[in-house]
Structure 1
Amino acid sequence: MTEVDVVVAHSERATLRVGDTFLKIDSDQERLDVEAEAMATAPVPTPQILWRKPHVLALAALPGTALGRLGTPSPASPAAWAAAGAVVRTLHDAPLPARPGQDVDAIRSHLDAECEWLVGTGVLPADLVARNRRVAETALRPSTPVFVHGDLQITHVFVAEDEVTGVLDWSEAAQGDAHYDLATLTLGHAEQLEHLLAGYGDGIDVDVVRAWWSVRSLRAARWLIEHGFDPNTPGAEFDVLRAAR
Structure 2
Amino acid sequence: MDEVKVVVAHSERATLRVGDVFLKVDADQARIDAEVEAMSLVPVPTPEILWRKPPVLAIAAAPGTALGRLGEPSTASPAAWAAAGAVIRKMHDAPLPPRPGRAGRDLAALTADLDGECEWLVTNGVLPADLVTRNRQVAQAALRPWTPVFTHGDLQIAHVFVDGDEVTGIIDWSEAGQGDALFDLATVTLGHEEHLGDVVAGYGTDVDLDVIRAWWSLRSLLGVRWLVEHGFDPFTPGCEVDVLRARM
Normalised-by-shorter TM-score class:
over 0.9
**Deviations along 1:124-148, whole A, 9 cap, x unmatched?**
0011000000000001000111111
Instruction: Tell whether 2:210 aligns with 1:207.
Output: yes
Map of 2:114 onto structure 1: 111
Give the secondary structure class of the aligned counterpart of 2:5. Answer: strand
Equivalenced residue count is 245
C-alpha distance in 2 between matches for 1:61 and 1:183: 25
Equivalent position to 1:174, from 172, 177, 181: 177
Map of 1:64 onto structure 2: 64
Alignment of 1:13-28 (within 5 A): 13-28=13-28
Kindly provide the amino acid, as one letter, of the partner of residue 3 in structure 2: E
C-alpha distance in 2 between matches for 1:195 and 1:58: 33
Map of 1:83 onto structure 2: 83
Cα drift, residue 203 of structure 1: 3.0
Instruction: Tell whether 2:167 aligns with 1:164.
Output: yes
Map of 2:40 onto structure 1: 40
Instruction: Tell whether 2:243 aligns with 1:240.
Output: yes
Equivalent position to 2:199, from 181, 196, 200: 196
Cα drift, residue 174 of structure 1: 1.3
C-alpha distance in 1 between matches for 2:238 and 2:149: 29
Kindly provide the amino acid, as one letter, of the partner of residue 204 in structure 2: G
Map of 1:95 onto structure 2: 95
Cα drift, residue 98 of structure 1: 1.1
Equivalent position to 1:225, from 223, 228, 235: 228
Map of 1:131 onto structure 2: 134
TM-score of the two chains, using structure 2 as the length reference: 0.98
C-alpha distance in 1 between matches for 2:247 and 2:180: 20
Q: Which runs of 4+ in 1 moved over 4 A?
A: none
**Deviations along 1:104-156, whole A, 9 cap, x unmatched?**
11111111111111011100001100000000000100011111100000100
Kindly provide the amino acid, as one letter, of the partner of residue 172 in structure 1: E
CA RMSD, aligned part only? 0.7
Structure 1: 5+ residue runs without aligned partners?
Answer: none
Kindly provide the amino acid, as one letter, of the partner of residue 52 in structure 1: R
Identity %: 72
**Deviations along 1:5-32, whole A, 9 cap, x unmatched?**
0011011100000011000000101000
Equivalent position to 1:140, from 143, 160, 170: 143
